[in-house]
Structure 1
Amino acid sequence: MLPKKKKRPFFLKRYLPKSLLGRSLIIIITPLLLVQAISVWVFYDRHYETVTKRLAQGIAGDIATSILLLQEAETPFDKANIFQLMQKTAGLSLTLHQGIELPPVNWEPGWSVLERRLDQAIHDQLLKNLNENYRYDIDTTSLVDQVKIQIELENAVLLVLVPSKRLFTSTTYLVILWMVGSSVITFGVAVIFMRNQVRPIQRLARAAESFGKGRDVKGFKPEGATEVRQASGAFIRMRSRIKRQVEHRMAMLAGVSHDLRTPLTRMKLQLAMSGQSEETKDLQTDVAEMEKMIEGYLAFARGEGHEQTASCNVSALMKTLMQQLSFNNNPIDLHIEQEINIQLRQENFKRAISNLVTNAQRYGSHVMVCVRKKSKDADELLEITIDDDGPGIPEEHRKDVLKPFFRLEQSRNQATGGVGLGLSIANDIISNHGGDLSLEDAPGGGLRARISLPF
């Protein structure tokens, strides 16, 4: 059977924001930009083009009128009066250059809307009013505040300088400014409202994360939209159920502990009063083993108890704990890179570390413990590694040994082991702190237990 091909992720996913606020803003801004693009196109097609066309027709009409008047003028004085009249009434600066011609290459309009509209208007006006197809040239770029138009007449070239303000209207910029400004204001209001909608979700996420790390969540209450309130209410009910289950388990274990310890104590007392014999020695060994097993079961079922989290100096705690666990024939090398403070259930955490270190001492002759701060995916983690030089654990059994009551009969001697709860208790405590316990090969051989705890 051929392996299934992995679906390639949509290429836009890598560029999309990961946060709910970012994605919500994308949902808002995308149609907003689309509407703006359509509005600009409609404005350009209907308003700007139309206004430019009307202004160009007005200029072309004034130029055609000027040419008609110049053709009827008989003296230079008449022409000067015409120039003065057009300057006052139309704002056009006219100059007539006798005896010259325009370049032989015909002028063609570019991509500019103004050039295209002026070209069309002048061409139409010259044909309509003068019945002439004069050659002309339009220059919209060489002068700052004027547009230069040259028209070739009979034995002369008429130079017309048109003020730019006659070809541009301020309403164009006002409309564009209004469109952009209204969009920015709308987007700003949307950002404010979306932040207010996302804030309750962020509070819920922080509360769930804190509860997952075993920390008490105080003052949390449902807020925001109906759906967010429903999710918050479900979280509060779930938290209450979990707390009730833990309290019920603790109450039940207190009774079980009393019921089991009482007959065991009575049996130990009766054996002590029976004298020493081979039979009583075997029974005492069995009773001690039973007591050890019961203690292990109760320790596993007891879990984290009611201990509250508090700020803890991990460096100082590890130094004290390693001194307590070290002995001459099985020393512990402790390496601490820096002082680290983190929120912990201190007694539970010491219990987990003790289980792991004791396990390493049982199967190895040398134990090395390293404490460091590590960054992963922009998160700060407390990392503790515990290495031994023992036989290690096969890779296929590393997840199994973290389960309750699982023992490796071949690689770990049953006579020297417990009841298969040490690693599972440590894993349970680390998980209740929101961390992770993994087993892997130590660099020098043996087993490495790696603890990762979020700050």
Structure 2
Amino acid sequence: MANRLTAGLRRLLPRSLLARSVLIILVPMLILQAVALQLFYGGHLDVISRRLTGGVAGDVAFVAELIRREPPEQHPWIFREAAWRLELGLAFEQGGQIQPGERRSSRSLLPLEEDLNNALGERVRARFDTDWQSDPRSIIIRVQLPDGVLHVEAPRKRLFTATLYLFVIWLVGSALLLSGVAVLFMKNQVRAIRRLAAAADAFGLGRDLGAIKPEGASEVRQAAAAFNRMRERIRRFVGQRTEMLAGISHDLRTPLTRMRLGITMLPRAAETEEDIAALTQDMEEMERMIAAYLTFARGEGTEQVRPADLVELVQDVAAKARRSGAAVEVASPASLALPLRPDAVRRSLANLIDNARRHAKRIAVAVDTVARTEPGGPGGVGADRDAHALWAQVTVDDDGPGIPAGEREDAFRPFSSGSPDGTGLGLAIARDIVRAHGGDILLEESPLGGLRARLRLPV
């Protein structure tokens, strides 16, 4: 029960830091003002209301008693004195009767009506009713006298005090002022956090936008400075690793070149031709494996992101595969532009198509866009982004033997090869490149009977 209640409260809370921060500031303030308002209504306002309504009720009772006791010729004098000294408008309906019925009450949130009725009941000692709606500036009170009905118009200002309006203005004004200050202050703080998050996300996707300017609170500035130091350390590490791998590549290729030259200069004979051909094939295999290992270790981080046409890249890779003897069909729109590293994505696509070419006779490639909310999207990638955005999707289907469902994820592990002529790095390199762009690659069962590789990139 407690867990369900906690989960329900979490769903009600806003998700953004700005909204939560403002809520933390405003909720205590609103609670404090609610307590103050309750104390005002229950204490100060109640006392003032009873005193003001008691004064009006006392004046009405006094005038009614004078009219009851004095002869009719004195009534005009009473009316004049009441209008001048008490600000009460009087009229007498000779022989009138108050008909029983509902009183025309007001819709005010203040306790004035009830207090006035109680005060009139205590002081007038006769049948009466009140009308709060006929005149917006006055309250009409009718009192039943022995020979008629006394009509009294009491100005509403006698029942209200300026402190009431000042109190309401203070409540509303302070709430608006504090809300505005809280929103502006927290907005500036959250803006710095958003910039830090955007810089970290862009750097993680290979888009180096440079060092960010520390701003905001001291903790946010400290986080921004730490991010800048981390960024420099990563760039230095990548640069050093690239230089080291370039040296390793040169050192490994030099003896391979000498060995190739030595094999070329060997004397040719019928009995050695087969051995020389086998050695040459082994040399080519070693060069290819070294190139694949270095490519996997080096990554594609040195290439900068720029707008490119994904459809054009797919068409280029498919054309090269056709020249190698593969039967590749491509279904795509005219163009699909998005920011990416073209050479890296081209390598990823080539690895996928080359993997399909080694195991199948027919390959079908399709390019389209899908909503990010569609089931089967990249797990955990881009899940917190705009749900209305799109994925650029490339599917590579083949009619080969496929991969069992339980072994598909293992196919992305480095050096995991399902064929004797592969290095086991093609799919690993392809996924590494795509994930560096914020997307992912999934393996599924193909409608052609073999394997489907689904590549998705954020648009």
The residue identity in structure 1 corresponding to 2:230 is M
Cα offset, 1:20, TM superposition: 0.7
The match for 1:431 is 435
The match for 1:265 is 257
The match for 1:130 is none
Which piece of structure 1 moves more, 430-439 or 20-29? 430-439
The verdict on how the C-alpha distance between 1:328 and 1:355 changes in structure 2, with shifts beyond 3 A counting, is: closer
The verdict on how the C-alpha distance between 1:202 and 1:104 changes in structure 2, with shifts beyond 3 A counting, is: closer
The match for 2:36 is 39
The match for 1:382 is 392
Conserved 8 A contact 1:338-1:372: no
The verdict on how the C-alpha distance between 1:144 and 1:221 changes in structure 2, with shifts beyond 3 A counting, is: closer
Following the alignment from structure 1 to structure 2, what is the Cα–Cα distance between the partners of residues 389 and 349? 24
The match for 2:63 is 66
- How big is each residue's C-alpha offset from its partner over 1:322-367, in whole Å with a ceiling of 9 and x where there is no partner? 2222248533222223532222221111111111111112212222
Cα offset, 1:107, TM superposition: 7.5
The verdict on how the C-alpha distance between 1:434 and 1:8 changes in structure 2, with shifts beyond 3 A counting, is: farther
Gaps of 5+ in 1: 127-132
1:209 matches 2:201:
yes
Cα offset, 1:56, TM superposition: 1.0
Conserved 8 A contact 2:104-2:132: no
Cα offset, 1:291, TM superposition: 2.3
- How big is each residue's C-alpha offset from its partner over 1:101-152, in whole Å with a ceiling of 9 and x where there is no partner? 43467989999622211122223334xxxxxx32222222344332222222
The match for 2:424 is 420
The match for 1:358 is 354
- How big is each residue's C-alpha offset from its partner over 1:8-53, in whole Å with a ceiling of 9 and x where there is no partner? 8621322322111111111122112212222222222334323322
Conserved 8 A contact 2:402-2:445: yes
The residue identity in structure 2 corresponding to 1:175 is F
Following the alignment from structure 1 to structure 2, what is the Cα–Cα distance between the partners of residues 138 and 333? 89
The match for 1:53 is 50
The verdict on how the C-alpha distance between 1:166 and 1:305 changes in structure 2, with shifts beyond 3 A counting, is: closer
Following the alignment from structure 2 to structure 1, what is the Cα–Cα distance between the partners of residues 362 and 412? 22
Conserved 8 A contact 1:213-1:435: no
Following the alignment from structure 2 to structure 1, what is the Cα–Cα distance between the partners of residues 121 and 3? 64
Cα offset, 1:192, TM superposition: 0.8
The match for 2:290 is 294
For 1:137, what is the secondary structure of its paired residue? strand
The match for 1:227 is 219
Which piece of structure 1 moves more, 351-360 or 275-284? 275-284
- How big is each residue's C-alpha offset from its partner over 1:245-284, in whole Å with a ceiling of 9 and x where there is no partner? 2222222212221221122222222222222414333333
The match for 1:93 is 89
Cα offset, 1:305, TM superposition: 4.9
The match for 1:446 is 450
The match for 1:160 is 152
Q: 2:26 aligns with which of 23, 26, 29?
A: 29
Conserved 8 A contact 1:106-1:135: no
Give the TM-score, by structure 2 length. 0.88
For 1:10, what is the secondary structure of its paired residue? helix
Cα offset, 1:170, TM superposition: 4.3
Following the alignment from structure 2 to structure 1, what is the Cα–Cα distance between the partners of residues 415 and 174? 68
The residue identity in structure 2 corresponding to 1:17 is P
The match for 2:237 is 245
The match for 2:383 is none
The match for 1:335 is 331
Q: 2:17 aligns with which of 17, 20, 26?
A: 20
The verdict on how the C-alpha distance between 1:24 and 1:279 changes in structure 2, with shifts beyond 3 A counting, is: same
The match for 1:189 is 181
The verdict on how the C-alpha distance between 1:343 and 1:30 changes in structure 2, with shifts beyond 3 A counting, is: same
The residue identity in structure 2 corresponding to 1:53 is R
Cα offset, 1:98, TM superposition: 3.7
Which piece of structure 1 moves more, 261-270 or 285-294? 285-294
Cα offset, 1:166, TM superposition: 2.3
Cα RMSD (Å): 2.6
For 1:141, what is the secondary structure of its paired residue? coil
The verdict on how the C-alpha distance between 1:289 and 1:322 changes in structure 2, with shifts beyond 3 A counting, is: closer
The verdict on how the C-alpha distance between 1:335 and 1:140 changes in structure 2, with shifts beyond 3 A counting, is: same
The match for 1:400 is 410
For 2:150, what is the secondary structure of its paired residue? strand
For 1:312, what is the secondary structure of its paired residue? strand
Matching of residues 284-323 of structure 1 within 5 Å: 284-323=280-319
- How big is each residue's C-alpha offset from its partner over 1:70-89, in whole Å with a ceiling of 9 and x where there is no partner? 23323x22112111221222
The residue identity in structure 1 corresponding to 2:212 is F
For 1:158, what is the secondary structure of its paired residue? strand
1:199 matches 2:191:
yes
Give the TM-score, by structure 1 length. 0.88
Matching of residues 98-117 of structure 1 within 5 Å: 98-103=94-99, 113-117=111-115
Number of residue pairs the alignment of both structures matches: 438
The residue identity in structure 2 corresponding to 1:318 is V
The verdict on how the C-alpha distance between 1:7 and 1:166 changes in structure 2, with shifts beyond 3 A counting, is: closer
The match for 1:129 is none
The match for 2:123 is 125
The verdict on how the C-alpha distance between 1:335 and 1:107 changes in structure 2, with shifts beyond 3 A counting, is: closer
Following the alignment from structure 2 to structure 1, what is the Cα–Cα distance between the partners of residues 3 and 89? 73
Identity within the alignment, %: 42
- How big is each residue's C-alpha offset from its partner over 1:194-246, in whole Å with a ceiling of 9 and x where there is no partner? 11111110111001110111111214132222221222222223222322222
The match for 1:144 is 136
